[in-house]
Protein backbone atom coordinates (compact mmCIF):
# COMPACT_ATOMS: atom_id res chain seq x y z
CA UNK A 1 0.00 0.00 0.00
CA UNK A 2 1.29 3.49 -0.93
CA UNK A 3 0.48 5.86 1.93
CA UNK A 4 0.02 9.47 0.85
CA UNK A 5 -0.25 12.81 2.66
CA UNK A 6 -2.10 15.43 0.62
CA UNK A 7 -1.24 19.11 1.06
CA UNK A 8 -3.41 21.76 -0.62
CA UNK A 9 -5.11 24.82 0.84
CA UNK A 10 -8.32 24.21 -1.12
CA UNK A 11 -10.69 21.59 0.29
CA UNK A 12 -12.36 21.03 -3.08
CA UNK A 13 -9.00 20.25 -4.69
CA UNK A 14 -8.20 17.73 -1.96
CA UNK A 15 -11.60 16.10 -2.46
CA UNK A 16 -10.99 15.95 -6.21
CA UNK A 17 -7.67 14.21 -5.71
CA UNK A 18 -9.29 11.74 -3.30
CA UNK A 19 -11.86 10.93 -5.97
CA UNK A 20 -9.12 10.53 -8.57
CA UNK A 21 -7.32 7.99 -6.38
CA UNK A 22 -10.26 6.09 -4.88
CA UNK A 23 -10.29 3.44 -7.64
CA UNK A 24 -6.68 2.51 -6.93
CA UNK A 25 -6.35 -0.37 -4.47
CA UNK A 26 -2.65 0.38 -3.98
CA UNK A 27 -2.95 4.01 -2.77
CA UNK A 28 -4.33 5.34 0.50
CA UNK A 29 -4.52 8.98 1.60
CA UNK A 30 -3.53 8.84 5.26
CA UNK A 31 -3.73 12.55 6.02
CA UNK A 32 -4.54 16.01 4.70
CA UNK A 33 -3.05 19.44 5.44
CA UNK A 34 -3.76 22.94 4.18
CA UNK A 35 -0.38 24.53 4.99
CA UNK A 36 3.13 23.89 6.30
CA UNK A 37 2.18 24.09 9.96
CA UNK A 38 -0.53 21.46 9.59
CA UNK A 39 1.80 19.28 7.52
CA UNK A 40 4.55 19.33 10.15
CA UNK A 41 2.08 18.34 12.85
CA UNK A 42 0.65 15.59 10.68
CA UNK A 43 4.09 14.17 9.92
CA UNK A 44 4.78 13.65 13.62
CA UNK A 45 1.93 11.16 14.03
CA UNK A 46 1.46 9.68 10.55
CA UNK A 47 3.30 6.91 8.73
CA UNK A 48 3.52 7.84 5.04
CA UNK A 49 5.46 7.15 1.85
CA UNK A 50 4.80 10.18 -0.36
CA UNK A 51 3.64 13.77 0.06
CA UNK A 52 1.54 15.35 -2.70
CA UNK A 53 2.35 19.03 -2.31
CA UNK A 54 0.63 22.01 -3.92
CA UNK A 55 3.17 24.54 -5.13
CA UNK A 56 0.98 27.61 -4.60
CA UNK A 57 0.34 27.61 -0.85
CA UNK A 58 -0.12 30.82 1.16
CA UNK A 59 2.81 31.93 3.28
CA UNK A 60 5.54 29.31 2.94
CA UNK A 61 5.01 28.14 -0.63
CA UNK A 62 5.44 24.64 -2.01
CA UNK A 63 9.05 24.95 -3.15
CA UNK A 64 10.08 26.54 0.16
CA UNK A 65 8.34 23.70 2.01
CA UNK A 66 9.99 21.13 -0.25
CA UNK A 67 13.43 22.54 0.53
CA UNK A 68 12.70 22.50 4.27
CA UNK A 69 11.49 18.90 4.10
CA UNK A 70 14.55 17.78 2.15
CA UNK A 71 16.89 19.54 4.58
CA UNK A 72 15.27 17.64 7.45
CA UNK A 73 15.16 14.30 5.60
CA UNK A 74 16.93 13.86 2.26
CA UNK A 75 15.03 10.62 1.61
CA UNK A 76 11.57 12.16 1.72
CA UNK A 77 9.55 11.73 -1.47
CA UNK A 78 7.44 14.63 -2.73
CA UNK A 79 5.24 14.93 -5.81
CA UNK A 80 4.63 18.57 -6.65
CA UNK A 81 1.16 19.41 -7.92
CA UNK A 82 0.52 22.75 -9.60
CA UNK A 83 -1.79 24.82 -11.76
CA UNK A 84 1.28 26.10 -13.59
CA UNK A 85 2.59 24.49 -16.77
CA UNK A 86 5.78 22.43 -16.73
CA UNK A 87 8.02 25.07 -18.26
CA UNK A 88 7.23 27.48 -15.42
CA UNK A 89 7.97 25.52 -12.24
CA UNK A 90 8.84 21.88 -13.01
CA UNK A 91 12.59 22.40 -13.34
CA UNK A 92 12.73 24.52 -10.18
CA UNK A 93 10.79 21.83 -8.31
CA UNK A 94 13.04 18.99 -9.47
CA UNK A 95 16.16 20.98 -8.67
CA UNK A 96 14.78 21.52 -5.17
CA UNK A 97 14.43 17.76 -4.71
CA UNK A 98 10.95 16.83 -5.91
CA UNK A 99 10.47 13.29 -7.22
CA UNK A 100 7.95 14.46 -9.78
CA UNK A 101 5.75 17.31 -11.00
CA UNK A 102 2.21 17.24 -12.32
CA UNK A 103 -0.29 19.92 -13.27
CA UNK A 104 -3.76 19.85 -11.73
CA UNK A 105 -5.21 19.26 -15.19
CA UNK A 106 -3.41 15.91 -15.52
CA UNK A 107 -5.48 12.77 -16.00
CA UNK A 108 -6.15 10.71 -12.84
CA UNK A 109 -4.32 7.75 -14.38
CA UNK A 110 -1.19 9.88 -14.68
CA UNK A 111 -1.37 10.78 -10.99
CA UNK A 112 -1.64 7.09 -10.09
CA UNK A 113 1.30 6.24 -12.35
CA UNK A 114 3.37 9.01 -10.79
CA UNK A 115 2.72 7.79 -7.25
CA UNK A 116 3.49 4.19 -8.17
CA UNK A 117 6.81 5.14 -9.77
CA UNK A 118 7.82 7.46 -6.94
CA UNK A 119 6.98 4.73 -4.42
CA UNK A 120 9.67 2.65 -6.15
CA UNK A 121 12.20 5.39 -5.46
CA UNK A 122 12.23 6.62 -9.06
CA UNK A 123 11.69 10.10 -10.50
CA UNK A 124 8.51 10.70 -12.47
CA UNK A 125 9.32 12.68 -15.62
CA UNK A 126 6.69 13.42 -18.27
CA UNK A 127 7.72 14.26 -21.86
CA UNK A 128 6.77 17.89 -21.13
CA UNK A 129 9.06 18.01 -18.10
CA UNK A 130 11.87 16.34 -20.06
CA UNK A 131 11.56 19.07 -22.68
CA UNK A 132 11.55 21.79 -20.03
CA UNK A 133 14.68 20.28 -18.46
CA UNK A 134 16.40 20.07 -21.83
CA UNK A 135 15.56 23.70 -22.51
CA UNK A 136 16.91 24.60 -19.08
CA UNK A 137 20.21 22.83 -19.78
CA UNK A 138 20.53 24.68 -23.06
CA UNK A 139 19.74 27.96 -21.33
CA UNK A 140 22.51 27.36 -18.77
CA UNK A 141 25.08 28.05 -21.48
CA UNK A 142 23.66 31.54 -21.89
CA UNK A 143 21.47 31.92 -18.80
CA UNK A 144 18.17 33.69 -19.21
CA UNK A 145 17.78 36.65 -16.82
CA UNK A 146 14.87 35.08 -14.93
CA UNK A 147 16.95 31.97 -14.17
CA UNK A 148 18.98 33.99 -11.68
CA UNK A 149 15.90 34.84 -9.59
CA UNK A 150 15.11 33.20 -6.28
CA UNK A 151 11.86 31.23 -6.09
CA UNK A 152 10.08 34.11 -4.29
CA UNK A 153 11.39 36.65 -6.80
CA UNK A 154 10.19 34.41 -9.62
CA UNK A 155 6.76 34.16 -8.00
CA UNK A 156 6.64 37.94 -7.69
CA UNK A 157 7.61 38.35 -11.34
CA UNK A 158 4.80 36.09 -12.49
CA UNK A 159 2.23 37.80 -10.30
CA UNK A 160 3.23 41.29 -11.45
CA UNK A 161 3.20 40.17 -15.08
CA UNK A 162 -0.28 38.71 -14.61
CA UNK A 163 -1.54 42.15 -13.57
CA UNK A 164 -1.61 41.80 -9.78
CA UNK A 165 -1.10 44.89 -7.61
CA UNK A 166 1.56 44.87 -4.90
CA UNK A 167 -1.14 44.70 -2.22
CA UNK A 168 -2.69 41.67 -3.97
CA UNK A 169 0.70 39.97 -4.23
CA UNK A 170 1.37 40.61 -0.55
CA UNK A 171 -1.91 38.91 0.34
CA UNK A 172 -1.30 35.95 -1.98
CA UNK A 173 2.21 35.34 -0.65
CA UNK A 174 1.25 36.20 2.95
CA UNK A 175 4.02 38.78 3.27
CA UNK A 176 4.05 42.55 3.75
CA UNK A 177 3.71 44.98 0.79
CA UNK A 178 7.14 46.33 1.77
CA UNK A 179 8.68 42.87 1.30
CA UNK A 180 6.98 42.58 -2.10
CA UNK A 181 8.55 45.92 -3.07
CA UNK A 182 11.95 44.57 -2.05
CA UNK A 183 11.47 41.47 -4.22
CA UNK A 184 10.34 43.66 -7.11
CA UNK A 185 13.40 45.90 -6.82
CA UNK A 186 15.73 42.92 -6.66
CA UNK A 187 14.26 41.14 -9.66
CA UNK A 188 14.24 44.31 -11.78
CA UNK A 189 17.90 44.85 -10.90
CA UNK A 190 18.89 41.25 -11.62
CA UNK A 191 17.03 41.26 -14.93
CA UNK A 192 18.20 44.77 -15.86
CA UNK A 193 14.65 45.98 -16.38
CA UNK A 194 13.28 49.41 -15.51
CA UNK A 195 9.59 49.00 -14.78
CA UNK A 196 6.55 46.69 -14.67
CA UNK A 197 5.81 47.20 -18.36
CA UNK A 198 9.22 45.89 -19.39
CA UNK A 199 8.87 43.05 -16.89
CA UNK A 200 5.46 42.08 -18.26
CA UNK A 201 6.73 42.18 -21.85
CA UNK A 202 9.63 39.90 -20.89
CA UNK A 203 7.35 37.44 -19.08
CA UNK A 204 4.93 37.22 -22.00
CA UNK A 205 7.71 36.88 -24.55
CA UNK A 206 9.31 34.01 -22.61
CA UNK A 207 5.97 32.35 -21.76
CA UNK A 208 6.38 32.74 -18.01
CA UNK A 209 2.69 33.56 -17.59
CA UNK A 210 -0.33 31.84 -19.11
pLDDT tens-digit map of 46-88: 999 999 999 888 777 888 899 899 998 989 999 999 887 766 6
* Alpha carbon distance 209, 12 (integer Å): 24
Tell me the pLDDT of the chain averaged across its residues: 87
- Residue of higher predicted confidence among 33 and 151: 33
Q: What is the pLDDT of residues 103-142, one digit of tens each?
A: 888 888 999 999 999 999 999 988 888 887 777 666 544 5
Fold classified for 2-137:
Rossmann fold (3.40.50)
User: What pLDDT does residue 111 have?
Assistant: 93
Q: What is the 3-state secondary structure (H, E, C) of the chain?
A: CEEEEEECCCHHHHHHHHHHHCCCCCEEEEEEECCHHHHHHHHHHCCCCEEEEECCCCCCCHHHHHHHHHHHCCCCCEEEEECCCHHHHHHHHHHCCCCEEEECCCCHHHHHHHHHHHHCCCCECCHHHHHHHHHHHHHHHCCCHHHHCCHHHHHHHHHHHCCCCHHHHHHHHCCCHHHHHHHHHHHHHHHCCCCHHHHHHHHHHCCCCC
- Residue of higher predicted confidence among 8 and 208: 8
Instruction: Say which range, 34-43, 141-150, 162-171, has the weakest mean pLDDT.
Output: 141-150
User: What pLDDT does residue 135 have?
Assistant: 72
Look up the CATH number of domain 145-205.
Answer: 1.10.10.10
User: What pLDDT does residue 143 have?
Assistant: 65
User: What pLDDT does residue 148 have?
Assistant: 78
* Alpha carbon distance 135, 30 (integer Å): 37
On the question of pLDDT at 7 being above 70, the answer is yes
User: What pLDDT does residue 56 have?
Assistant: 82
* Alpha carbon distance 10, 33 (integer Å): 10
User: What pLDDT does residue 138 have?
Assistant: 60
User: What pLDDT does residue 17 have?
Assistant: 92
* Alpha carbon distance 159, 183 (integer Å): 12
User: What pLDDT does residue 133 have?
Assistant: 78
Structural domain spans, the chain: 2-137, 145-205
Amino acid sequence: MIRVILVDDHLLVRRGIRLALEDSKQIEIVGEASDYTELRQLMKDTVFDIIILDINLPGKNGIDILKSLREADAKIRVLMLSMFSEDQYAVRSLRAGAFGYLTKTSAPELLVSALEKIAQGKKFITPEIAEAMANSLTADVDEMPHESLSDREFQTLRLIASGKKLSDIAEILAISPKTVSVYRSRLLEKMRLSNNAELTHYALKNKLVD
